[in-house]
Chain A
Amino acid sequence: MKKINLAKIISKNIATRQSVELIRNELSDITDDLIELDFIDVDFISRSFADEILNLKQEYKRKNIILKFINTNKEISEMFKIVSSQRNKSPKIFLTKIKDLKKPVHQF
């Protein structure tokens, strides 16, 4: 069983969707059925990264390879929970009552 330390290969705060490519590079030569993605020492992940790594997990599941997330802190677990729940919903259209200004802009 292979374990990949994400803080080591990416960073302790993981920002972008593209950073998943760094994980892909690590996975490219692996033949194990189960791979642990270790979030130890990772403090924070962005929503975009969480979404993309869940995509990666699904992709590998289709190849019968399990990607397991381990040592996620409370905030990271929360982020995965939120992103997972958003993935199962239809997109919402948020109607904000933005006005187009014809008059001079207020001071701000």
Chain B
Amino acid sequence: MEIKIKFTKSDLIKPTILNLGENVNSFVKIKPEDDNDIDLSDLNWVNPLSILPLASLLSSLKKNKYQFKIIQPLNSSIESYLKAISFYEGIHSLESLENLRHKNYIPIVSLPNHPSDLKNREKLLSCLLDILLERIGCKENLINATGYAFMEMFDNIWEHSQTDCGWFFAQYYKNKGYADICFLDNGITIKGSYSKKGRKTITDHEAIKMALMGKSTKDQDRGYGLWTTKKLITESPLNGKFLILSGQNGYFKDKKQELLFNLNYFWQGTIIFLRINKTKEKIDYTKFIE
């Protein structure tokens, strides 16, 4: 079976979400016993929101022993870029990352959620944060604001997704002055996390709302991660965009609008996408913490 992967050459987030849907719906049709061609030949543009979900889907195919081969992009620059960002399996070690500190991207990282990998994972996350801060502005000004968002999004994967792997990819667009950052898991979705804690009848949309309203699945003193991150990214001088895709629903916020919407597909897990503008301003992150 041939799966033609579709991409949009657009900076806008909505078309990327729609394209992701087409690709996800194509992947659903893949059968393990078929010889499958994943056709990237038309690929002319890549951003973290388009490519990280695809990386995780391909890794999942490989893990489940599906037969497939990838038809590489005809655009040789894109082909080189995919190789450079470690598409599709990502990097897992600190050493691989340290060699790329001078680049405008942080390659695809897949981090196992396993107790024996805890120390390696923490060091890798620390390095990721350092590199990100070097790209988007003055580290001293941004470490707490961006660090808060970054760490909370990763912690959500380990705490809630019940998946064996978390994914990350970031690209800094120097000419545009912003960084696109994507966190992803193939876990139980936000709704699934609430269901596990007894709220069995809620929908994906209600679960996203509850998560954004600060209702924790954990103990009563927690649950602020998504709420605070959303405010930090969109209401501070980072002047960013914040997107969640989980199950059949999505949520988007920037300074101009806030939207909860249906997807025409199902994402098994949760994707968080941030677009953060480079800034030299110092951000007092405590203003955004309730």
A binding-site residues for B, Cβ under 8 Å: 9-19, 21-22, 43-44, 46-49, 51, 75, 78-79, 82, 86-87, 89-101, 105-108
Contacts and interface: CB of A to CB of B under 8 A. Distances in A.
A75 B221 CA distance: 21
B70 interface: no
B12 A107 contact: yes
Nearest to B125: A15
Interface of B: 12-14, 115, 118-119, 121-123, 125-126, 129-130, 143-144, 147-148, 150-152, 154-155, 158-159, 205, 209, 212-216, 220-225, 227-228, 241, 251-252, 254, 257-262, 286, 289-290
Contacts of B214: 91-94
A16 B155 contact: yes
B14 A15 contact: no
A17 B155 contact: yes
B221 A94 contact: no
B223 A16 contact: no
Contact of B290 (A46, A92, A98, A107): A92
Given A15-B151, A17-B155, A93-B214, A108 B125 contact: no
Contact of B158 (A12, A13, A17, A100): A17
A22 B118 contact: yes
Contact of A100 (B130, B150, B260): B260
B224 A17 contact: no
Nearest to B159: A17
21 contacts: A9-B119, A10-B119, A11-B123, A13-B129, A13-B151, A15-B150, A16-B121, A16-B122, A22-B119, A43-B143, A44-B144, A46-B152, A47-B151, A47-B289, A48-B152, A48-B155, A51-B221, A91-B223, A96-B258, A108-B257, A108-B259
Contacts of A16: 121-122, 125, 151, 154-155, 158
A47 to B, nearest CB: 6
Contacts of B144: 44, 75, 78-79
B13 A94 contact: no
B109 to A, nearest CB: 13
A47 B148 contact: yes
Given A15-B151, A46-B151, A108-B14, A93 B224 contact: no
